[in-house]
Amino acid sequence: MCLNDNSATLSARYLSAQLSAMWQNAVECVETEHESAIIDLRSEEYDKHKYKRGLAQWHYGGRRVPKGGISKDALFFYGSFDEPRLEFVCNHEVVLYLRLKSGHLNHAYPSRANIANFKPYPKDNISLGGLEVAYRIPFTRRIIEGRDTAVGNGDGRRIQLLTMDLKSAQAVLFSTNDLDRTKREVLNFYLKKYLQFLQNAGHHVLFDLPDFDNDTHRQHIDYSLVSRAFNVPGLQADIEIFGTNIDTINQYLRTTWLDVVSRGFISGPSPDPLANCIYEVRSNTLPSAESHFHITFMPPSIRALCPKEVVFYINISDLDFYGSADFSSAVTHSFKDLKFAFVLDVVQDKTQDITLLQLELGSARFCEHYSTFDFTGEVTFFQQIIKFISEEYLTLLVQYKYHVIFSPQGGFTEEVEFSGISEDEGEWKTVVEASGGVSSKRSTSIVWSEIVRKFSLYSFDHLLAISEESINAMFSSMYTTFSNECLVKWRHTSGNLNAEFRPIKIRLLSNGNALVIFNIDSGSMTLKNGRGTYEFDTWSIAYETRIKMVEHKSITWVDVARERYGRSYIHQIPNVQTVKHIILDFENAVYVGKQSLMPGMWDSDPRSAVARLDSILHFMSGYLKELAYYGHNVIHSIPIFPGQEVFGLTDATFRVISKETVTVANCVQRHTSPVLVVFGMTGGRRMPDTHTPWGFGWVFPRSHGSLCISKEVFLESRLLPSLARINARTTVVPRFPEEDEEEWKVYLTTWDQHRYRKEKSCNWTLLEGNADWLEYGWEHRDEWKYEHSGTQETTDGFSVLCHTKNQLVLPTTFHSALMEIKLKGQSILRVKDIKKQRTKETKANWSATIVIKTDSTGLRVTISEPVAPSFEHSESEEMWTSFNTDTALKQHLPKIIDVESALSDLRQLLEGSWRWGSAGLGTYTLASPVFTRTGDLIFQLRQTYGGVQSVIGSELMQYGRRSLSNISAEYKTGKSVIGNGNGYLEATTTTIRSQPMSVHQMGLSTSSETGSLLSVEEEDLAFIAGGGITTGVKVVNQVRVGTALQEGFH
* Residue 785 reports pLDDT greater than 50: yes
Please give the distance of CA 792 from its chain centroid, rounded to a whole number.
95
Range 112-116 contact pairs with CB under 8 angstroms and sequence separation of 24 or more: 113/62, 113/63
Q: Rounded mean pLDDT of 1005-1017? A: 32
Query: Can you give the pLDDT at residue 319?
Result: 94
Query: Can you give the pLDDT at residue 168?
Result: 95
* Residue 991 reports pLDDT greater than 50: no
User: Residue 951: pLDDT band by 50, 70, 90 thresholds?
Assistant: low
Separation of alpha carbons 121 and 759, rounded Å:
109
Query: Can you give the pLDDT at residue 765?
Result: 95
Separation of alpha carbons 1045 and 1050, rounded Å:
10
- Nearest 5°: phi and psi at 962? -95, 170
User: Residue 1016: pLDDT band by 50, 70, 90 thresholds?
Assistant: very low
* Residue 258 reports pLDDT greater than 60: yes
* Residue 129 reports pLDDT greater than 90: no
Q: pLDDT (tens digit, 9 = 90+) per residue, 541-596?
A: 999 999 999 998 898 888 888 888 888 777 778 888 999 999 999 999 999 988 99
Which are the contacts of 700, defined by CB distance < 8 A and separation ≥ 6?
423, 451, 706, 940
Query: Can you give the pLDDT at residue 452?
Result: 64
Separation of alpha carbons 1041 and 1050, rounded Å:
14
Ranked by mean pLDDT, which of 279-288, 843-852, 945-954 comes out on top?
Answer: 843-852
- E strands, 350-502, are 356-372, 404-406, 430-432, 438-440, 462-467, 489-491, 497-501
Q: Which of 892, 880, 895, 723 is nearest to 810 (CA)?
A: 723
Look at the chain and count its residues: 1050
As a dihedral over the C-alpha atoms of residue 115, residue 116, residue 117, residue 121, rounded to 10 degrees, the angle is: 10
Q: Where are the domains of the chain?
A: 3-231, 240-406, 455-709+936-949, 711-910, 953-1041
Q: pLDDT (tens digit, 9 = 90+) per residue, 712-727?
A: 999 999 899 999 999 9
Separation of alpha carbons 703 and 503, rounded Å:
19
Q: Which uninterrupted H or E stretch holds 907?
A: helix 904-910
Query: Can you give the pLDDT at residue 154?
Result: 55
Mean pLDDT of all residues belonging to the chain:
81
Q: pLDDT (tens digit, 9 = 90+) per residue, 1019-1048?
A: 333 332 223 333 333 333 333 333 222 223
Separation of alpha carbons 862 and 859, rounded Å:
10
- Read off the DSSP letter of residue 225: G
Helix, coil or strand: residue 118:
coil
Q: pLDDT (tens digit, 9 = 90+) per residue, 61-91?
A: 887 777 778 888 889 999 999 999 999 999 9
Beta carbons of 1025 and 1044 less than 8 angstroms apart: yes
Separation of alpha carbons 489 and 467, rounded Å:
27
Half-sphere exposure of 315 (CA within 13 A, CB side): 14
Q: Helix H segments across 602-719?
A: 606-629
The whole-model pTM stands at: 0.74
Q: pLDDT (tens digit, 9 = 90+) per residue, 818-865?
A: 899 999 999 999 998 877 778 889 999 999 999 999 988 899 999 877
**Residue 589 falls in which region: left (phi positive, over 0), alpha (psi -120 to 50) or beta:** beta
User: Residue 177: pLDDT band by 50, 70, 90 thresholds?
Assistant: low
Over its C-alpha atoms, the chain yields an Rg (Å, rounded) of: 42
User: Residue 625: pLDDT band by 50, 70, 90 thresholds?
Assistant: very high
Query: Can you give the pLDDT at residue 572?
Result: 77
Which are the contacts of 165, defined by CB distance < 8 A and separation ≥ 6?
137, 138, 139, 140, 204
Position with higher pLDDT, 693 vs 247: 247
* Residue 438 reports pLDDT greater than 50: no
Beta carbons of 314 and 299 less than 8 angstroms apart: no
Query: Can you give the pLDDT at residue 885?
Result: 86
Helix, coil or strand: residue 731:
coil
Q: Rounded mean pLDDT of 667-681? A: 88
Position with higher pLDDT, 1050 vs 287: 287
